[in-house]
Each structure stands twice: as C-alpha cells, then as structure tokens.
Amino acid sequence: MERSDEDGIRKRKRDSKNRRRSSQASPQDTPPDDMSDTEGLLIAPKFPRRETENSTVDTNVVSQHDSSELAERMLRLLPHELRNRIYTYAVSVPWEKETICDGKLPLRLRSHCNTTQSHHSFWNPSPLHRYIDPHRFGAQIAHEMARVYYTINEFYFDYHELYLMHKFLTVDRFESGVRPADFVRSIEIVLDESFTCECNANALAFHGRLADGERSPVGAVRKCLEQLLGVTATSVKIRIIVYRKERRFPRLENQRELLRVLHPIVVALDRKGQLVVMEFHTSLGCEWSLRRSSGTSIDKLMRNKIEDN
C-alpha cells in the first residue's frame, strides 16, 4: 500500500513538471496550425544554420567526401534521364521567376532606381552554389545540373537591371562550362514606357560598353536588348512587358519611340525562331499584346501598331 502511494506521488510530480515546461515554451517553437513546413519554405527559403567555431566536427570535409561519393554513384548507376529529374528537383526555384539583379532589393515593378548603387556587383545565386559545384560534385554533375537550371527556370529582368543582360547570358556563374545563352529557355523583361531613369546608361558607361553618342536612356535600352540576339538556344520564350502609367493625356510619342526601338530587335528574334510576345500593361491589366500569328508576321503587326500610335 505504501509502495503504491509513493508511486502516485512521483507520478503527480512528473506531470506537474511537464505542465510547467510546456507553459514556458516559446510560441515561435510551434508553427501555426494553418502553415506547414513546406508552405514556409515556399514563402521564405530556409538556409542551414552555420556550425559554431567550437564544433569538433569538420562538416566541410564530411560534406565533400559524401558529395563526391554521391556524384560517383549517380554517374555509375543512374541514366541521364533520371539524373535530370533529380537536378530539376534541386535547382528549380520555389517562386515564379529567378530575378536577375545587382544586389539591390529585387522589388518587382519598381518606379525608381538607386543610382548610387555600385555597378561592380552582379547577380549571385549563392544558395545554388551548394549544388552546382564542380569542386564538390565533379565537373560532369555540375555541368549537367547547370544546363538544367537554365533550361527549366524563367529569368526576370526589371527595367533598372537590363544592363546585366550581357553578363547573364555570357558569364559562367557556376564555373561549370555552361554558357547561359546556349541553354536559357524563358526570359521576361519589364520596360518603363517613359525612359526617365538613366540607370542603364550610367551602368553601361561605367563598364565601357556604351559610346558617348549612345549614352541616353533610349540608346541604353537598345544596347541591352540587342544582347538577346546572342541567344543561341532556339524556341526561347521572350516576354517583353511595357508598363504605362495612366494619365489623362497618354504620352503617345513615348510609345511610338519605344516601339521603334523594339521593332528591329523583336523582328530579328522572331526570324531566329524565338517565341517573342510583347504586352502593354496598365494598372488595370493587359491593354494589348502582339505575337506571331498564322498568316500575319510580327513585323507587320508592329508596323501597324507604330502607325496606330
């Protein structure tokens, strides 16, 4: 009898201690009921915590060894088609588009630009360097993975970062032997109808890629978009969106000037077999769009649109 009483007392003490611990737990330790771990990752990518300096395990050495062994087994045991499926899972961006920017906050559809930003920096997909790394996984795996990365994702350029087009298409960011212009399949570009920002002209001049006679917002946009003619991949979807501010008296001359700049570039891209779509948007949505149709060339469509404006 005394034994059972002692057991009961111990049990009640344990229950009381557990209740105190649960009441002291931080609310942030438990995710909201309406959000799963997967949804949280889609909203804000989570990165692994850094090891402390006092850690006794060299995780870099272990990771290097495991990665090399994994790469060797993948090449030996898996056909190319299955490896591509693994790469797709690893390098596809969890948001709609991969924004190409120079370090400024990548806000979509910005109405102004930080002209004091240094032009030394360039788009840096740092999270992907853990996967597309020839030093960790070997040259062949890194090469195959980089090809898949450029093939499956859509790349977004804001008006203020158009000067990065040349770098994006020609620089091998992962040192994997892949030239993006040979593999990219989808590009979206947003333009400013009014050409009021000189950020692209300043950046190109900074890098010595713009002659004095071309140093204007219009000349800079033309120079940036001409880089698309260097894309060697075929059937690339190139979507050009022009946002027009709603005014009581629309600036039709600005639209005509922009269409004249775009006209020869869009026609040349179309003749190379690229899938070009042009859209004019307002805050209410798409006002009109142009694309090649059966029986009407995009050249004729653009000429008609220039005359209408």
Determine the pLDDT at residue 153.
93
Mean pLDDT confidence for 42-66: 44
pLDDT at 309: 64
Q: Categorize the per-residue pLDDT at 25 as very low, low, confident or very high, splitting at 50, 70 and 90.
A: very low
pLDDT in the model for residue 19: 60
263, 306 contact by CB (below 8 A)? yes
Task: State pTM to two decimals.
Answer: 0.72
Kindly indicate the confidence band of residue 238, based on its pLDDT and cuts at 50, 70 and 90. very high
The residue-averaged pLDDT of 60-79 equals: 81
**Choice between 118 and 86, residue whose per-residue pLDDT is larger:** 86
pLDDT for res 62:
44
Residue 77, judged by CB atoms within 10 A of its CB (0-12, 13-18, 19+), counts as exposed
Name the burial class of residue 284, with classes exposed (0-12), middle (13-18) and buried (19+) by CB atoms within 10 angstroms of its CB: exposed
State mean pLDDT over 130-153. 91
Count of residues making up the chain: 309
Residue 59 has pLDDT above 50, yes or no: no
Q: Which amino acid is at 45?
A: P
Q: Answer whether residue 123 shows pLDDT above 80.
A: no
Mean pLDDT of 117-146: 76
**Mean pLDDT, the chain, integer:** 75
